[in-house]
Amino acid sequence: MAKNKQSRKRPQPKHKKNKKSQHDKRRRLQRPNPERKKTSNAKVPLTGAMLTAVSVLQAVMDRRIAFRLSIIVAGMFLADDRRTASAWFATAGVQDDWDRFYDCLASVGRTSEKMAMAVLGLVVQKFAPGLKRILLAMDDSPTSRYGKHVEGAGVHHNPTPGPADGEWLYGHNWVTLAWLANHPLWGVIALPLRSMLYVRKVDIPKLTEKYDWEFRTKHELGVALLDWFMRSIRTLGIKAKVWLVADGAYGVRPFLIPVLGMGIVVVSRLRKDACLHDVPLHGSHGNRIYGKNKISLAKRAGHAKGWSTITYTCRGARVTRQYKTFLATSRLISSKIRVVILRFEDGGWAPYFCTDTEAEVRDILEAVGARWAIEEHFHDAKEVWGAGQQQVRNLWSNIGCWHLNQWLYTLVELCCWDMEKSQLTDRSDHPWDNEDRRPSHADRRRSISREMLGKKFLVALPDGPDHPKLWTLFQDLLALAA
């Protein structure tokens, strides 16, 4: 019996015919409940630096709804298992006014640009003084969310399919811009600033009537994010040079030309069969852009001579590799680029380029290595914070939930930036673990959760002869809870 061959074409969503929802918000609002309990504080409120940081975000929201943001964030820190929006609310102690908290999520989505500006202000305040060069990373990542009434969702390519996963998934796709900060001990850490939702053209008609949504490619969304960033940092008075590192999907002309017009230096990967020419000889026709001779990357990488050796930092480790570098002209930007061919230990090679022809090879290779931090962020945002699990349908609510997960990643890293390793993690009770391993993002998140729980409950312990014993027992309980 012949096996069915799977098609390489993008599949179409097949939704079941669902009945109308029995939960009608309008009908509920027409029956006001005089005994409705309102939530004014979280069960376990935020404390310390995290409370201060969240208050900065609340300042740009509507005052009538802003107080709910700190309650939601408190629930996000303590929620466990599947982190749906309802799990956030239940953990935070939300009462009968739960629907207003869903409205708050939608409000976060609508004001995400203003709130992202507030997050950027916190990052600039921490890192910008004395900084000569800002390194950014851009990439896109999908989140799975199936349902006929989930707005903005569609069929997208699955970049990390597991053994039982398919090539495609149904959900949302987010184009993200992140600030890459170099920690003196833990290496490069990505601090996400803002994202934009990519909706496929075939799915736009569903949103046009309700939201007047327009189709934009991922490259157009990336350009819009960078335009927002450049306007924002100039408003904040930052004059540092800006570099952007992105994977090869963004190393295309429709993306590069507008970005170069903003004065941004781009580092990305080249195709191995890229069309390159040599640099025109001095004294050639004034309008000549490309040289007469084509350059073959495969031939240059295969030639045994001309390799140089360099030692640089890649993903937190010092590595020594061989490279070749030269100037070339490319139709990607209709000008000269700096090309670097890097040879790996197994004999493989990869070509990269930089739009700044005067850039040092070390700076280019370290920027390429630093790009991996945004992939680590996507992993942690989904695994640690549960991004994509919130089970909301509204378009703005989905945008708000994704941004909250990303911003909390940034705020946790900022709040724990100057903390000692002993304050973040204690692996003495994990003899199988490596004690020298750097604290993970989950460790940093748990340290803030323990601080919240400790300030809520430890102060309530009575003074007495058994006080130290009770304190130790309660510390053990907090370690299990957080």
Give dist(CA 3, CA 189) in Å, integer.
46
With respect to residue 477, please indicate whether it lies within any of the assigned structural domains. yes
Kindly tell me the sign of the dihedral angle through the C-alpha atoms of 23, 27, 29, 33: negative
**Would you say residue 453 lies in a domain?**
yes
Pairing of strands 308-314, 349-354: unpaired
User: Is residue 473 one of the residues assigned to a domain?
Assistant: yes
Q: Give Cβ neighbours of residue 43 (< 8 Å, ≥ 6 apart).
A: 74, 91, 92, 93
Q: Is 413 domain-assigned?
A: no
The Cα–Cα gap between 272 and 298 comes to 7
Structure-block tokens of residue 284? 């050639």
Q: For strand 349-354 and strand 265-269, is the pairing parallel, antiparallel, or unpaired?
A: antiparallel
Establish if 288 belongs to a structural domain.
no
Give CA torsion, residues 371, 374, 379, 384, to 10 deg. Answer: 140
The answer to whether residue 59 is domain-embedded is yes
Q: Which residue type is seen at 409?
A: Y
Q: Residue 461 sits in which domain range?
A: 427-481
The beta strand positions in 287-423, using DSSP E, are 294-295, 308-314, 317-330, 335-343, 349-354
The pTM (predicted TM-score) of the whole model is 0.90
Per residue of the chain (482 residues), what is the pLDDT tens digit? 445 556 667 777 776 666 665 566 667 667 777 778 889 999 989 999 999 999 999 999 999 999 999 999 999 999 988 899 999 999 999 998 898 999 999 999 999 999 999 999 999 999 988 888 999 999 999 999 888 889 999 999 888 888 877 888 999 999 999 999 999 888 999 999 999 999 999 999 989 888 889 999 999 999 999 999 999 999 999 989 999 999 999 999 999 999 999 999 999 999 999 999 999 887 556 678 888 899 999 999 999 999 999 999 998 889 999 999 999 999 999 999 999 999 999 999 999 999 999 999 999 999 999 999 999 999 999 999 999 999 999 999 999 999 999 999 999 999 999 988 888 887 776 777 777 778 899 999 999 998 898 888 776 666 655 567 666 666 666 665 55
Residue 250 lies in a domain: no
Q: Tokens representing 467?
A: 């006080």
pLDDT of residue 427: 73
Domain count of the fold of the chain: 2
The tokens for 78 are 């303590």
**Measured between alpha carbons, how far apart are the two ends of the chain, in Å?**
54
Domain final residue pick, 349, 382, 400 = 400
List, in sequence order, the alpha helices (H) in 133-217.
204-211
Residue 187 inside a domain? The answer is: no
Question: Strand 265-269 vs strand 308-314: parallel, antiparallel, or unpaired?
Answer: unpaired
As a whole number of angstroms, the distance between CA 252 and CA 449 comes to 43
